[in-house]
Every structure is written in structure tokens, then in C-alpha cells.
Amino acid sequence: MTNTADYIQQIRNDFPALHQEVNGKPLIYLDNGATTHKPNAVIEAEAEFYRTVNSNVHRGAHKLSDLATEQFENARRTVQEFIGAIKPEEIVWTRGTTEGINLVAATWGRKNLSKGDRILVSGMEHHSNIVPWQMLCEQTGAELVVIPVLDNGELDLNGFAELMEPRVKLIAVTHVSNALGTVNPIPDIVRMARINESVVLVDGAQAVAHFDVDVLQLDVDFYVFSSHKLFGPTGMGVLYGKEELLNEMPPYQGGGEMIEHCSFDGTTYNVLPYKFEAGTPNIAGAIGLATAIKYLKGLDRKLLVKHEESLIQHAHQLAAELGGIRIIGEAPKKASVFSFLLEGAHPADVGTLLDQQGIAVRTGHHCTMPLMARFDVPGTVRASMSIYNTLDEVDALFKGLEKAKMFLL
């Protein structure tokens, strides 16, 4: 039996971008929350599509168009199975998490919300799960209400319970916080939502690459994620919605593909999911995402979950040993996101010094400015780990921080 370290090395061999030097040093890529690298299989699947089939879908005019349609719709089924949706019709292609949320706000939101209604979001949301709802509130007169976050980065479930009342029509929360790593208790949230008959949208951007997600088991109404954080191509994403909700929603954008019949007297709309997919879709992106999912499913995911846990535990342990580190986000249930401040140093300076050593992290507000205000910090340094990171890389991060400490303090 291979040990975990060997297994991770094998996985690393599948990701060509990991094997390069940056600033004269071997790359240590700890910015997976922003985007993950892509395995050869994904790069090759996209290239192969453009090399061979490269035709538009749903036109049926020739053999290659049929082939493209088949691959495109098979990709939809791969996503459906991956997240446990009942039907492929419940999988809508988007450009990413951001577009998925905007779609729900613009369609379900405008149809169902009016003055006096409430939308609950958590205090740890990414801007993409805040701003579309603020825009919707401006349009409808609904009100945005914030579920508080505890000092350790957990969602305040008591505070959440107090906010639940009949005016709450929608709860939009992240599954995993990109800035804290907190894994939110979606089943508890859904249970309370059902009592109140509120609709639940979950932002899964930071979840799907780290653990299995089953939308049916979670019983969420909408679930959104991006391909590029799941080892797939950029410009591609998924909106899952329960069929009955999607059916009742008006279309998002108008154009080709989303119509059943179009005349100057009026237009009728296509069936699901095409009603929401106006224009030529990102065909290669869908095929690339499906390839990423198949790649991930071919790995020992249980072992990888444990491996990522060991990476984050190791980071916490080394932080305690080094001292002078303020960790932002210490929820008991957290993904492999290590967000911190080196006391006395600005996060941007720490990031620059790490970059000089070939260590890629993200610094700043992580598109969560309200959360940064909640913790009264200008931003943090974020090392976000993935399946291909190693304990040695975490060691290297802390050696880098030791150097940064000497230089900056």
C-alpha cells in the first residue's frame, strides 16, 4: 500500500503548473481558494475538443455538432451525479458562482420578493453573495439582514434562530468561508428554514473541492459553484436548483437557445435547463469541468479529506510554535484555509516577502470586506491548501514567515 506522501506526489505529477520556479524558487502554491491548478486530463480534454469536435451544440446540422451536443449533455449528467441532483434539468451552466447567484437574484428574487420581505445572509459572505442581494433589495424594497459571526469564526446559530420569522423569504449562506475556512452547518440552517418556509441558497464555491456535497441530502433549494476552484477551467460554473423552483422562475437573459418559439407578437420559452442558457455556451468549459470531476472521483477522496485536515492542523501547530501570529477563523469545523496576521506587519508586505520565496498566498480582504470590518483587520494573509499540497510546503510557509518576521519586525 502506498503511503499518503507518495500518493500526494503521484497526484502532483498530474498538475504541470505545480512544477515550475517562481522568482527563482520552486513554486509553493497556497492560493487554491482563489483558483486551483488543472490536471493534465482537463487541459487535454479542452484542447482535444478544439482540435477535433469543435462545433456548436443543439444545432443537429451535422455529425460534429451531434458529437459536441452529446459531450456537452454528458458533462451535465456528470455534474448532476457529482452533487446528487435528481435530474440533469436541474443543472444550469453559468460562468461561475457569481453568475449563479446573480441569476437567482434577478429571476427568483424579482418574482418572489417585495417590500418588507427579508433576505438573510451571513456576516462571512463573499461580496458575490452580498451585492446581488443588495441590488435586489434596491429593486424590490426587501431588506438585507445579517446573521452574526462569532469571535472564533463560527456562524452564530442562536443569533440566526432569533432572526428567523415569516418575513424571511430567502437565506443565502456560504458552505465554506473563503476567508475563515469555517464549514457552516447547512443541515441546521435548512432545518430552521423549512419551519419558516424560507428558500435556501448555498454558495458552494469553497466546498466542492474539499469534500463530497449531496444537494438532495442537504435539501437545499439552490447550490452554486465555480469550475475553476474545482480543478476545472475558468469561465464555467453551475447553478443547481430544485426543478419546481426553476420551472416557476422567469428567464435570466434573452437570446438564442432559451426560446421555444419567437415572433414579433411574443416569445415562449424553452424547457429546463435551456430557458436559463441564452447564447452559445462554454462547451469546452463544460467538458473540462466534467473531466475535472471524473479526475477527482478517481482519487481516494476520503484519504484526501484526511490529508487536508492534517495540512491545516500542521499549520495551526506551527503558528503556535512560531508565535506572533493571529489566526482569523478557528471554528472547530474548518476547511484547509489558514487566514492570519503576522502581528506588527501589514498582510501585503508579508505576501510580497513570501512571493519572493516562491510561496503564493493571497493577501487583502478576500472579497469579504464586511467580515474584515467585523474582525477589525485591514485584511489577512491567506494560505489555502488543496489536495496536492504537502506537509513540507506548510513547513516552507513557516520558514518563509520566520524570514518575513526578521525582515519586517
Q: 2 burial class (0-12, 13-18, 19+ CB within 10 angstroms)?
A: exposed
Query: What is the binding site for ligand PLP (CB under 6 A)?
Result: 33, 96-98, 126, 128-129, 174, 178, 203, 205-206, 226
Grid coordinates in use for 354?
513570501
Kindly state the smallest distance separating residue 69's Cβ from ligand PLP, in Å.
Answer: 26
Kindly state the smallest distance separating residue 215's Cβ from ligand PLP, in Å.
Answer: 17
Kindly state the smallest distance separating residue 126's Cβ from ligand PLP, in Å.
Answer: 4
Kindly state the smallest distance separating residue 333's Cβ from ligand PLP, in Å.
Answer: 16
Name every residue whose Cβ is closer than 8 Å to that of residue 84 and which is 6 or more positions away in sequence.
Answer: 213, 214, 215, 216, 217
- Cβ proximity to ligand PLP: between 175 and 405 the closer is 175
- Cβ proximity to ligand PLP: between 276 and 398 the closer is 276
Residue identified by cell 492534517 is 310
Grid coordinates in use for 239?
447553478
- Cβ proximity to ligand PLP: between 117 and 154 the closer is 154
Whether the Cβ atoms of residue 359 and residue 400 lie closer than 8 Å to each other: yes
Cα distance between residue 131 and residue 105, in whole Å = 10
Kindly state the smallest distance separating residue 128's Cβ from ligand PLP, in Å.
Answer: 4
Residues 116, 121, 125, 126: what is their CA dihedral angle, to the nearest 10 degrees? -40
Q: Which of 75, 367, 371, 372 is catalytic?
A: 367
Q: What is the DSSP code string of 22-75? A: ETTEE-EE-BTTT-----HHHHHHHHHHHHTT---SS--SSHHHHHHHHHHHHH
DSSP state of 250: P
Element (H, E) at 144: strand 143-147
Active site residue 137: no
- Cβ proximity to ligand PLP: between 154 and 203 the closer is 203
- Cβ proximity to ligand PLP: between 69 and 389 the closer is 389
- Cβ proximity to ligand PLP: between 168 and 337 the closer is 337
Q: Give the HSE-up count for residue 84: Cα atoms under 13 Å, Cβ half-sphere.
A: 12
Kindly state the smallest distance separating residue 121's Cβ from ligand PLP, in Å.
Answer: 12
Could you list the active site residues? Answer: 367
